[in-house]
Structure 1
């Protein structure tokens, strides 16, 4: 009996739009204080741990994070940013604390700035630090000598300056009930307010990517705002995150929201005019800030410390039949099969 193999050549084109993934916690570390903010650099996570100061966590094995160093700060560590061998801590009523982290096992306070201020947020660009201050509004410091920081400028904001983000020649201040305030910082010693976006909620945190600002707007969720014209920010889209959006980070086509008691929310922002909530993860406590590094998501989750979250992509293929017309022996037939995810491209 004659035997023959019919061979079909199929070229698969995968178009990934929405993230179709299993979201799960792969690791955690319960810090001694209340984790308010987190920054990930290389194999270390730096945690602003409120009353417990700065904690440095080794995340080389993200399934088993381990603390390797810490430094007590005199106030309440509410925010942290890292540049090279220094970490800047927004230490609440004790101002700005500057820490040498060249040896992460023995971090050392080397400088500070306190001037009747309550520092909630910190950003750094070159030799300048930008502070959001509950009392003074927006401050700019020269940190070229980190042991002796000095103030370059101070501009009062209408409400409570909660956080600050720097991108290019602009600083974006989350000013709670006053929304987002945009400052031109091309001359750090003479910043100039150039634009305002009055968000409907309370602007708590901001991330800017490709001339788009993503505002964690507390009860009003995620606000997406064009800042292509900094003097006239305009809203692209918004999304109700279901909780209180306190923190936001952006990576690729996704925004990651620290959504208070609702934990983590993941939003598809490939079309900023139509953001889509595509996943989430409930955490034990209150998620305040979020960082993304090497495909993993790190949450500062208040009393429960830090949580390490993985979103493992999967592909759903429909069960519809794939039909070919009859094919002769010793011949071939090719087809292109396009697999799409959630109908997005």
Structure 2
């Protein structure tokens, strides 16, 4: 669905997109969107039926599906790299037979994505993460615990399995931090936060594991800390300054089940099952304290953080948008009613893209991708409104970053341009590209090993247009 919410009190529908049709599979008999990632004028949508759809969003009022991948691949997770997409795949077939592996798709021509590489390990791969030329996937064989597999994809057409760790029961999410991997797992009734040294993929080492009091529903980290949404136990904070000896800093019982967490500056934003969102000051983790609570319209499924804004995904087919630049006074900016349960959001400029999960037969109609106009809601002083198809700074990631930042930008046609980086004092510190380029999506990288920690800004100049993206944060 597409809604105009430039006036939140008078939201109205602009258009509807329901081209993501259900495809029968072994896992489910419903349809809907589970995850969404944006790449230029394209939305890559992982569907609940384990397929992948590529949708043109260059005109948000006339969206259309340009290609799809379903059937054998069983998309469980995916990551991008330039013109490739890497897919963690796998499912059970008849008689307990496991079919799956790693797929590499060439997406230079998204209308006809080409399978250029694959590696089958008779495993169901559930999560995937990428660092340089290395892919990290957790997976399991039939009636076996999970393990971490590391692939070398320097040649995407011939991915090579480099290493496999010892088995871990129910290995969870994967986050790469320089030469270390952060994850969680469960062994019988005990839940662990674990960190691995992956600097040498020939000998991956478990550096540390810490048992937690309850299930780890989610975790988030910055350069120095990791915060756990630790179910009934509440919020747990660990020091990541020395990954080989990361230590427990503090625990805060929230009086509810913590289901999701995001770190925002010196605060942890914790989604609780029944009592809404807790804003926790973690500047002194040993004495963390709740500084504010926001009670949403319905129970929260999860939350997404984008710069100074948090998006609350809620059970009753609803999303609430909060400005949290002042966590002591979070401001409700708008509410979007979706056709189905929201599962993931992505933001490009002032446009909100929503993966809407299982279809609700009591709603107006099926819709797997919702697009919402947030003009006037997400405005900040250092941001320019960006619409798909214009000259635009699309994304900069990871943000915050440690030493290297990747920037995606778009030029509408052949033009002269300049892409540069400024510090918070307005001084230009680096020029990432200048001259003439053809139209389309382009990529740049800022390697900043000598730059101090702090807030920086990206500036794109083209066709007498100056676009200043919201802040990027370099942390050491």
TM-score bucket of the superposed structures, by smaller chain? 0.5 to 0.7
Aligned to 2:177: 125
SS of equivalent to 2:146: coil
**2:234 matched residue in structure 1:** 179
Change in CA separation of 1:23 and 1:103 when aligned onto 2, cut-off 3 Å: farther
- The residue that corresponds to 2:375 in the other structure is 313
| Root-mean-square deviation (Å) | 4.1
State how far apart, in whole Å, the 2-side matches of 1:260 and 1:105 are.
Answer: 42
Is 1:282 the counterpart of 2:337? The answer is: yes
1:179-207 Cα offsets, whole Å, 9 max, x none, are 12111112212211101222232222211
* 8 A contact 1:220–1:240 mirrored in 2: yes
Cα distance per residue 1:284-316 (max 9 Å; x no partner): 44334444344443444444696353333249x
Of 291, 295, 303, the residue aligned with 1:248 is 303
SS in 2 for 1:189: helix
Identify the match of residue 244 of structure 2 among 184, 189, 193.
189
How far apart in 2 are the matches of 1:26 and 1:104?
37
Match of residue 322 from structure 2: 267
Is the 2:351–2:374 contact (alpha carbons within 8 Å) kept by the matching residues of 1? no
Q: Distance in 1 between matches of 2:199 and 2:210?
A: 21
State how 1:190-269 maps to structure 2 within 5 Å: 190-269=245-324
Structure 1 or 2, whichever has the larger Rg, is: 1
Query: Which whole-Å CA distance do the structure 2 matches of 1:111 and 1:195 have between them?
Result: 35
Mapped partners of 2:315, 2:332: distance in 1: 16
Rate the CA distance shift 1:268–1:23 in 2: closer, same or farther, 3 A.
farther
SS in 2 for 1:287: strand
Q: Is the 8 A contact 1:46 1:80 kept in 2?
A: no
Distance in 2 separating the partners of 1:103 and 1:80? 18
Alignment CA distance shift 1:45-1:314 (3 Å): closer
147-156 or 26-35, larger mean C-alpha shift: 26-35
Q: Give the TM-score, by structure 1 length.
A: 0.67
Instruction: Compute the displacement of 1:157 (Å).
Output: 0.5
TM-score by length of 2: 0.51
Specify the SS of the correspondent of 1:139. Answer: strand
In the aligned structure 2, how far is the partner of 1:89 from the partner of 1:301? Answer: 26
Is the 8 Å Cα contact of residues 258 and 299 (structure 1) preserved in structure 2? no
Instruction: Note closer, same or farther for the CA distance 1:43–1:173 as it changes in structure 2 (3 Å cut).
Output: farther
Q: Which residue of 2 aligns with 1:52?
A: 50
1:109 Cα deviation (Å)?
7.3
Shift of the 170–310 alpha-carbon distance from structure 1 to 2, 3 Å rule, reads same
Cα 1:39/1:214, change in 2 over 3 Å: farther
Contact 2:33 2:369 (8 Å CA) reproduced = no
Distance 1:253 1:206, change over 3 A: same
3-state DSSP of counterpart to 2:258 = coil
Larger RCO: 1 or 2 (CA < 8 Å, sep 6+): 1
Tell whether the 8 Å contact from 1:37 to 1:48 is kept in structure 2 after alignment.
Answer: yes
- Bigger share in strand: 2
Deviation at 1:259, TM superposition (A): 2.0
Structure 2: distance between partners of 1:297 and 1:107: 35
Query: CA-to-partner distance for each residue in 1:120-158, whole Å, 9 max, x for gaps?
Result: 433221121111324442011223345764422111100
Answer whether contact 2:44 2:55 (CA < 8 A) is retained.
no
The 1-side partners of 2:57 and 2:155 are apart by 16
8 A Cα contact 1:289 1:300, kept in partner: yes
Q: How many residues align?
A: 296
In structure 2, the gaps of 5 or more residues are: 1-5, 70-84, 91-122, 360-366, 378-476
**Distance apart, 1:222 and its partner CA:** 1.6
- For residue 167 of structure 2, what is the aligned residue in structure 1? 115
Structure-1 separation of matches of 2:39 and 2:336: 23
The CA distance in 2 between the partners of 1:269 and 1:253, in whole Å, is 6
* CA drift at 1:178: 1.1
Q: Which 4+ residue blocks in structure 1 deviate beyond 6 angstroms?
A: 23-26, 30-34, 41-51, 99-110
1 CA distance for matches of 2:158 and 2:352?
26
- Relative to structure 1, the CA distance from residue 165 to residue 43 in structure 2 (aligned partners, 3 Å threshold; closer, same or farther) is farther
